[in-house]
Amino acid sequence: MSDITSYLHTSVSDAKISLEGHIKSSPQTSASLALVLLKHLRGSEGQKSRQKMLASVLRKSAKALAESDELDPNGTRAGDDYAEMPTGELRGWVDRMVAKDPGRAAGEMVDTLTALRGEYGTTSRRKILAAGVGKAAKALAEGDDHGAS
């Protein structure tokens, strides 16, 4: 089930089982798939249970990334606001970015979580980012029309 369309044309429970199966081995893949699917379903009628399931998978994947001890060999990229901003300012920044464009914000935060995982001294930052991904997932699942996706 690697093709995005196959997740759209299977039952919600089968898609959930498949996506959640990736969380332990590859949470960034699971998060990316859930985010792409949420963006695709944005504004779709009759897809609320699938959207809620995808938001749940996205939140669980972000939490797994935040709690991971595995170091990313690439680390963060230069200019990553989520990684470089002082932690005291990060919560407000995350809230503003989610309100502006939850799809983009979630993608950027997942990328930063992937790069920060396992880094010493980043626990608070990772928790803030995981919570931000949760807010973005909720906004996407509820169909809030903030910015472009």
SS (H, E, C) the chain: CCCHHHHHCCCHHHHHHHHHHHHHHCHHHHHHHHHHHHHHHCCCCCCHHHHHHHHHHHHHHHHHHHHCCCCCCCCCCCCCHHHHCCHHHHHHHHHHHHHHCHHHHHHHHHHHHHHHCCCCCCHHHHHHHHHHHHHHHHHHHCCCCCCCC
pLDDT, residue 1, reads: 41
Please state, for a pLDDT cut of 70, what percent of the chain lies above it. 93
Is residue 44 situated within a structural domain?
yes
Dump pLDDT digits (tens) for 43-99. Answer: 888 899 999 999 999 999 999 999 998 888 777 776 788 988 999 899 999 999 999
Whether 98 is covered by a domain: the verdict is yes
| Confidence at residue 144, expressed as pLDDT on a 0 to 100 scale | 59
Domain count, the chain: 1
- Structural domain includes residue 146: no
Question: Quick check: is 81 in a domain?
Answer: yes
Q: Which domain holds residue 55?
A: 4-141
